[in-house]
Amino acid sequence: MRQDVKASAVKYKQEGRSIVEIQKVLRTHHGCKVSRQGLYKFLQHGSITRRNSLLNRGKIQHLHRRCIHMWMCQNNELTASEIKIKLRNVFGLDVSLSTINTVRRNLGWTSNTGKYCQQISHVNKRARKDWACKMYKEKEDFANVIFADESSVEMNAHGKLFFHHSGEGIEMKTRKRSKPKHAYKVHVWAGISYAGKTPICVFTGIMNSALYQNILADNLLPFVEEHFPDGFRFYQDNDSKHTSRSTKEWMREKGMLDSVMKTPASSPDLNPIENVWATMKYHLQTHVKPRTKEELVGGIRSFWESLTPEQCARYIDHIHRVIPQVIINGGAPTNF
């Protein structure tokens, strides 16, 4: 519409005329044909003068790029729709979402799925960094270290990814996979070293200090006697049952207390066996697909039996990539 027609339409609206009446007057006296929907939108959201968004449609300038980069630095979770609103409000600029995505990508911003990790306190960050710096400075090779930990394994017969054929029609499998409300769960304990793996212990219930000591007596000490007659070091986390007075006294009686390494808290990324557990759980979900207690335990044991000393060595070698990253991050979580 011409500017004089827009002004007349606004005047008629202020006089209380309906949309239909204004449409007829504009057609009869001004020679302007406009739909009722278009007239309604103009009277609700338009202005007499041309909108800046129409004048600036699609013209991204250097200033706009700088502002997009600044907004992303302030909030790296901004969506293209939110940036579009900001551009319209600040500059009167109306651009498509695809244009915004292209500009943002050209500015070096790429999307990534958020990964969550354990929150680490400032005290523990400092301890992690100090430990990593010590290992790096001393060129630690972990040649006689046994990395041990426990984990929980839940019965799950479905993997995270699956495919279906487009021709399956009504027989196509649903994307929603059934899962029991309270799946059967077992706990495992084991250790790995450059000499290979310890026996694995599968158990149920809650682990306390007494149970932990029995597990070490049955699985760790025989392995040490066979593979590390000249001495070893033991890497465990700072769980209360690992560091309780009872456990320390038991370790002292067995002559292994001095072999326990002092490790930083909140540091699963610094224990290579965590990656072993992740691989085992993927193997169970994807290949074993256990539906009974026996299948779950059998799958765990078969995976553990297949673990070779060479594979254990590769898992442990991974820590040499993690340590520099811990130092660079100042003790904050790594991407490992």
Q: What are the structure tokens assigned to 103, written together?
A: 């500009």
Measured in whole angstroms, the distance separating CA 136 from the mean position of its chain's CA atoms is 27
Please write the tens of the pLDDT for every residue from 226-243: 999 999 999 999 999 999
**Range with top average pLDDT, 2-11, 101-110, 151-160, 311-320:** 311-320
Res 176: pLDDT: 64
pLDDT of residue 170: 47
pLDDT of residue 214: 98
Token pair recorded at residue 220: 């760790």
C-beta pairs of 104-107 under 8 Å, 24+ apart in sequence? 104/68, 104/72, 104/80, 107/65, 107/68, 107/69, 107/72
Of 119-123, 182-186, 302-306, 310-314, the least confident? 182-186
- The average confidence (pLDDT) of the chain is 88
- pLDDT score recorded for residue 169: 52
Average pLDDT over residues 305-334: 97
**Banded pLDDT at 331 (limits 50, 70, 90):** very high
- Copy the structure tokens of residue 134: 């010590």
Q: Which tens digit of pLDDT belongs to each residue from 194-224?
A: 999 999 999 999 999 999 999 999 999 999 9
Q: Is the pLDDT of residue 104 over 60?
A: yes
pLDDT in tens, 51-95: 444 444 558 888 899 899 999 999 999 999 999 999 998 888 889
Nearest to 155 by CA among 282, 310, 292, 266: 292
Nearest to 116 by CA among 268, 238, 286: 268
